[in-house]
Amino acid sequence: MEKAGGEMIIHVKVKPKSGKREVESFGDGRYLVYLKEPPENGRANIELLNVLSKFLGTPATRIKIKTGFTSNNKMLEVS
């Protein structure tokens, strides 16, 4: 898990259209996240923020996608 100026950086691999919502942690700020939504029009990204919000106990507004908006591999910042 990386820290940048008080922010936590996490790395996520997303599996959209998987038929379930689940988060697997691999330590060191690495996660595999299964989503139900397809990767169309940002729907999977929105679901990702909501799922991680519940998993981390942090408001979704405090989680930002830094890289990987159109990729399955994403880097997120949690403040």
> pLDDT by residue (tens digit) across 56-77?
999 999 999 999 999 999 999 9
- 5 against 47, higher pLDDT: 47
The domain total for the chain is 1
Torsion (CA) 57, 63, 69, 74 in degrees, nearest 10 = -60
Contact in structure between 63 and 53 (CB atoms under 8 Å): yes
Owner of token pair 């990204």: 45
CATH number at residue 18: 3.30.1200.10
DSSP assigned state of 60: G
Q: Does residue 21 form part of some domain?
A: yes
Reported in sequence order, the residue ranges of the chain that DSSP labels E, i.e. its strands, are 2-4, 7-15, 22-25, 30-34, 63-67, 73-78
- The predicted model scores a pTM of 0.91
Structural domain of 15: 2-73
